[in-house]
Amino acid sequence: MLAQLSILKEKCSPDPVNKAVVSSGILELRSAERLHALANIVMPDDSVDGLDVPADPSASDSDSTVSYEPDDCQEAELSFVTDTNSTLTAEQHSVLSDVLDVESESTGGSNAVQPQHPAGNKPKTMSRKRCRKEHEKVDAHLNKYSLRSPCKSCRLKCTDKLTNDNRELINRQYWERSFGERRTWLDAHINIYDVKRRRLTGNVDKEPLRQHSLTYTLPKGTTKTPVCKQMFLRTLGVKTDGIVTEFVKCKNRAAAESVMPTSDRRGKASPPNKVDHVIIRDHINSFHPQVSHYNIQHTPNRRYLDPGLTITSMWKDFQEKHNIPVSYELYRQTFYSENISFSQPQQDECEICCSFNRHSKEVLPDHDAEICDICCSSKTHLERARLARHEYQKPISAGDKVFTADMQKIILLPKLTIKQHFFVSRLVIFNETFASMDGKNDMVILWHEGISGRNAADVTSAYVKCLEMSDSDVVTIWADNCCAQNKNWTLFTAILQCVNSAWGPNQVNIKYLEKGHTYMRADSVHGTIAKKMRSQSEIVNFPDFVALVDSASKTTKPIVLNTNDFYKFTAENRVRQSKTAHPLPLLSSLCMATFRKGSRLLHYKTSFDSDEKQVDFLKPKFKSSSFPQQQSESRGIPLVKKEAILKLLSNVPAGKRKFWLDIPTNDNSSDLVTKLD
C-alpha cells in the first residue's frame, strides 16, 4: 500500500499530471486510505495538519481502537476538500479538481466529493414560483413602498396639513387595495387639466411636450387636501412618478369610451395563434344536436347527437372544411362546453334515491334517521313508489281498458348510411304510445313536425284519439310525472270535455307513478321499436317508419294523426287561490285524477292510500260540454330544411321522394330538432 501511495505522490509532482493514473489508483484504495492519498496528493508533506488520518493506514494494528467507517471517511473527505479549497495554490487546486472530476466520471457520481457552496452562492435551480396569496401581496407592497419622509419645503405647506399618522394611514389603505381599486383611487385624487398658459420659446412650430397640467390631493377625513407632487408620491412610498404617468396614459386611452379600466390587463393579451371558438361551435352545431323532451325541467340545456358520430370524426371533418390549425384537444373541449352528448336522451335516475344513497355513505355513528330530513323524505318517497306500483299491478276489471302512456325519444328521418345526413336537420317524428295492459292492442299514435308540434295541446290531441278508439265506458291511463305532457291543466280540461261529450266514456282515470320509478309497459313497446330501427340500415321517409312500427310486434298498431285530428285545446282552469272556492291542488302532489260524465269536478288523490277529494277547477263561465276547433292548417317545416333533405335524397327513387316533395313548408315554424315548441 505504501508503494501505491508513493507512486501517487510521484505522479503529483510538478511534472504534468496523469489524471487517469491518479484517479484509478485512488479508486482502488479503501475509504480511509483514499482520504490519506488525497491529502498527500494535494499537500505532499509527511504530515497534514488538521486531518486525523494515520501516516500509514495499511500499517495500523488490528488491535487498534481507531476504525474508519465508509460514511465517516466520506464526510471527512468532504470536509477536507471544503476546508482546504481556499488555501491551495493554483497548481494544487488544479490537481485536486482533475482528480475529483475523473473520479466522478469513473464512479458515475456515486462516491464523488462535491464541495459545499458558501451560503448565498448556491447555483440557481429552475423552479416554478407559487402564486402569492392576497395578504402576501399586501405585505410585500407595504414593505417595498413604505412611507417616505415628507417634502421639505413647498409653497402649499403640505407638512402643516397632514401628520405622519395621516400619511401612514393613507399609505397602508392605498396598498391594501386591489389593482382596480388603486386605479380608482388615483382617478379620484389626481385632477387633469388642459394647460392654461404656454411660454413660447425656441421653435414655435414644434409640438409642445406638455399636454396636461396635474394637481394632487390626499384624503383627510371627509375632505381632500391639495398637496404637491413630491408629498403625494412620498406618502404613497414611491420614488418615481411612474404610477402617475401610467395613469394619465390610461386615462387618455379610455377617453373615447369614457370608462376607466379597473382591471389589470398585464399577461392577458390574446395569443397571436388563438382560434376563434365561434367557428368551431358553428361546425359542431351544423350536426344539429337535438333537445330532449324527457325531464326537460332538469336538463333544459342538454342536447344530443347520434351515437354513430364521434368527436374524432367531427374533428377530421372540420379539418377538411376549414384551413385553420385546430388541435383535437381544443375541438374536444369546445364540444363539451356546448353541453352535448353522444347518446340518445335517457331518463334521469331518481334524484331522491341518489341523494339518499350519497347521504347513507356519509352518516355518522350517532346519526338519528327519525329526525333527518333526507332519511324521512326518502322513506316517504319509497312508500309512495311502493303504493303506486301496488296500484299499477292490480287486476283489471271486466270491461275496463287500462293503458300506459309515454312519448318515445325523438326520432329523426331520414336515417341513411352516408355521413352527409348528420349535417342535415332532419324531420322530427313523434310517437305517443298507449300500451294496453292486457297486451293485445298497443296504440302507437304517430305524427311528424310537418303536421303539428309537441306542445301540451298536441299531446292532448293524442290522448283524445286514444279515448276515441278505446271503445270502453271506463278508461284508465297510467303516465309518468312529465308536466309538459301528462300532468297539466290543458290535458285535464280536454279530458273533462271528452267525458262530457256524447261520444265520450263515462269515466276517465289518469294515474301517475312515483317520480323516478316510472317504468311501465309503454317503455317495453318503445324498446321493441328501437330494436327494429337498429336492425334496419335505412329509413327514408315517414311511411317507411309507419311500416316498421307495424312490423315491430304483433300487438303494435300504428295510428297516424292528420291535421284535422289536432284540436286547439287550452287550459281553462281558474286561479288556484280563490276567496269563494276551494283552492286548487298542486299538480305535483297529485297521484290520481278522475273525471266523470255529467260533472265538471276534478276528483283527485294525493296518495293512493288516502281519501278521494274533489274540486271545481274550471272557470265559472266555461262550458264543459263544448269542444274546441280543429287545426285547419299543417304546421309545416322551414323551406331551407326541406331543400336540404331533398338534396340529401337526390339518388333516392322518385316514389320515396314523393313524401318529401308533398310535405308543407312554413318559414315561421321553428326547427324542433334544436328548439322546443
Annotate 370-404 with DSSP letters as a single string: TT-HHHHHHHHHHHHHHHHHHHHTSPPPTT-EEEE
- Of residues 491 and 77, the one with the higher pLDDT is 491
- Residue 117 lies inside a defined structural domain of this protein: no
Same structural domain, 50 and 143? no
Same structural domain, 6 and 148? no
Q: CB-hemisphere CA count at 13 Å for 179?
A: 10
pLDDT above 80 for 411: yes
- The single residue listed with the C-alpha cell 417595498 is 144
| Mean pLDDT, residues 32-44 | 54
User: Which of 110-119, 162-171, 528-537, 583-592 shows the lowest per-residue confidence on average (mean pLDDT)?
Assistant: 110-119
For residue 76, the SS3 value is: helix
pLDDT number for residue 123 = 58
CA distance 275 to 325: 8
- Residue 307 lies inside a defined structural domain of this protein: yes
- Residue 184 lies inside a defined structural domain of this protein: yes
User: Which of 162-176, 344-358, 632-646 shows the lowest per-residue confidence on average (mean pLDDT)?
Assistant: 344-358
Interacting residues of 366 by C-beta distance below 8 A, sequence separation 6+: none
Using alpha carbons, list the distances in angstroms from residue 209 to 44, 195, 213. Answer: 74, 11, 12
Task: Round the average pLDDT of the chain to a whole number and report it.
Answer: 78
pLDDT above 50 for 5: no
pLDDT above 60 for 71: no
Same structural domain, 505 and 606? yes
- Residue 350 lies inside a defined structural domain of this protein: no
Among candidates 419, 406, 127, 382, which has minimal Cα distance to 286?
419
Same structural domain, 651 and 578? yes
Same structural domain, 8 and 70? yes
Using alpha carbons, list the distances in angstroms from residue 6 to 10, 77, 177, 542. Answer: 6, 20, 74, 105
- The single residue listed with the C-alpha cell 409642445 is 208
pLDDT number for residue 588 = 85
For residue 474, the SS3 value is: strand
pLDDT digits (tens, 9 = 90+) for 470-480: 888 899 999 98
- Residue 354 lies inside a defined structural domain of this protein: no
pLDDT above 60 for 262: no
pLDDT above 90 for 434: yes
Q: Which residues pair with 119 in a beta bridge?
A: none
For 16, the domain range is 2-107
Among candidates 311, 324, 313, which has minimal Cα distance to 275?
324
CA distance 342 to 287: 12
- The single residue listed with the C-alpha cell 352527409 is 420
CA distance 320 to 377: 54
Domain count, the chain: 4
End of a domain among 341, 356, 374? 341
Instruction: Quote the DSSP letter at residue 382.
Output: H
pLDDT above 50 for 4: no
Same structural domain, 102 and 143? no
Interacting residues of 400 by C-beta distance below 8 A, sequence separation 6+: 472, 474, 475, 476
Same structural domain, 99 and 230? no
Same structural domain, 429 and 294? no
- Residue 593 lies inside a defined structural domain of this protein: yes
Q: 549: exposed, middle or buried (C-beta count within 10 Å: 0-12, 13-18, 19+)?
A: buried
Same structural domain, 229 and 281? no
Amino acid letter for position 66: V
Same structural domain, 154 and 244? yes
**With contact defined as beta carbons under 8 Å apart, do 287 and 404 qualify?**
no
- Of residues 567 and 21, the one with the higher pLDDT is 567
**With contact defined as beta carbons under 8 Å apart, do 284 and 335 qualify?**
yes
- The single residue listed with the C-alpha cell 296500484 is 391
Same structural domain, 160 and 97? no
| Mean pLDDT, residues 398-410 | 87
Q: 534: exposed, middle or buried (C-beta count within 10 Å: 0-12, 13-18, 19+)?
A: exposed
pLDDT number for residue 215 = 92
pLDDT number for residue 132 = 83
CA distance 178 to 137: 10
Q: 599: exposed, middle or buried (C-beta count within 10 Å: 0-12, 13-18, 19+)?
A: middle
**With contact defined as beta carbons under 8 Å apart, do 298 and 248 qualify?**
no
For residue 456, the SS3 value is: helix
pLDDT band per the 50, 70, 90 thresholds, residue 124: low
- The single residue listed with the C-alpha cell 404617468 is 245
pLDDT above 50 for 50: no
End of a domain among 89, 107, 125? 107
Among candidates 451, 450, 484, which has minimal Cα distance to 631?
451
pLDDT band per the 50, 70, 90 thresholds, residue 559: very high
- Residue 114 lies inside a defined structural domain of this protein: no
Looking up residue 471, the CATH number of its domain turns out to be 3.30.420.10
pLDDT band per the 50, 70, 90 thresholds, residue 286: confident
Percent of the chain with pLDDT over 90: 25
Same structural domain, 475 and 603? yes
- Residue 100 lies inside a defined structural domain of this protein: yes
pLDDT number for residue 83 = 52
pLDDT number for residue 265 = 67
For residue 407, the SS3 value is: strand
End of a domain among 70, 89, 107? 107
